[in-house]
Amino acid sequence: MTSYPAPINPTQTRIGWIGTGVMGGAMVSRLLSAGYSVTIYARNLSKVVHLQSQGALLAYSPADLARNSDVIFTMLGHPSDVRQIVLESLISSLNPNSVIIDHTSSHPVLAKQIFDAAREKNCWAVDAPVSGGDIGAREGTLAILAGGNEDVVKWLNPLFDVLGKATFVGGPGKGQSCKIANQIVVGANLMGLSEGLVFAEKAGLDKRKFVEAVKGGAAGSMVMELFGERMIGRDFRPGGFTEYMVKDLGMGLDVGAEQGDDVVVLPGAALNKQLFSAMVANGDGKLGTQGLITVIERINGKLTRDNLPFMLYSVLKFMLKQCNAILRLWYHFYIDNLTNSQAS
């Protein structure tokens, strides 16, 4: 890649980062520990105090960050955030030959638009969503699904190696397509694990013994390794938010439906999206995706401390409806009596 004669190294390469949530914060921490200078932009400064204590610098706007960075990472929530931050702010302030790496799970079409806009500025963009959850982010074992220019991805490998392992999967947008396919598989595994645990308990099995027995066989998976004990222990702290899984599966269904004659039918993903959407509707969108087990439990009539608020809400909603009906009857009865008394 002729635009980058100097290799990436901690003493020369200036890193910019936007998006310091559960995943992004852990990834920034790893880059700081590896000796890189990292400047971060955050709307809520209280959430980055721990990164400042590790040596992170602060930018006061995305444009300010772009002007002081060679490589900019974004790890945001939704495609709309990416469009606003990257296309409407960062791009116009990039230094020549800068690179934007978007780790957000976003839309393939948007990734292509960002790539084209970056090239118009003599810069580069790589769509590189990740898989591996909060544990992978902390331990530097993320699977990085990179789309864009292959030479650029190779040049970025010293940075990717701090965070995990990057695999070049194709041109602009292909990283995002790969992540959508990944989420389809992960969602199916989460549903299978949730149903397996609920069935095992109903059958009188010890759930931990069940997981121990099957994890070495065909049922074993990274999903089971990451989330099996969390589900059993009712630990629903997020490695990835449930609302983001709904977003990812929704993008998969949308992209599949936009293929014209090559439409992709995804019945499993459609069912999974509805199940995860049930969590969001229950107010659990900020829980980890392993919370899917609570939906399967509710379907099977199990009352737990986790779904108790939902059950109470349902009961209260029913009671309010009944009270409303009684009040309406009383009101009509009162009006009728008042009318009759006035008539007499």
Q: Which residues contact 167 (CB under 8 A, 6 or more apart)?
A: 143, 144, 145, 146
- 62 within 8 A of 93, measured Cβ to Cβ: yes
Q: Tell me if 49 sits within 8 A of 37, measured CB to CB.
A: no
> Per-residue b/e over 241-252, b at no fewer than 16 CB within 10 Å?
bbbbbbbbbbbb
C-alpha 285/C-alpha 246 separation (Å) is 9
Q: Which of 179, 209, 302, 321 is catalytic?
A: 179
Residue 179 annotated to the active site:
yes
Q: Of how many residues is the chain composed?
A: 344
Strands 130-131 and 142-147: antiparallel
Q: Are 210 and 197 in contact (CB under 8 A)?
A: yes
CB 102 within 8 A of CB 127: yes
User: Distances in Å between the alpha carbon of 288 and those of 15, 145, 153, 299?
Assistant: 29, 21, 30, 19
Residues with catalytic function: 179
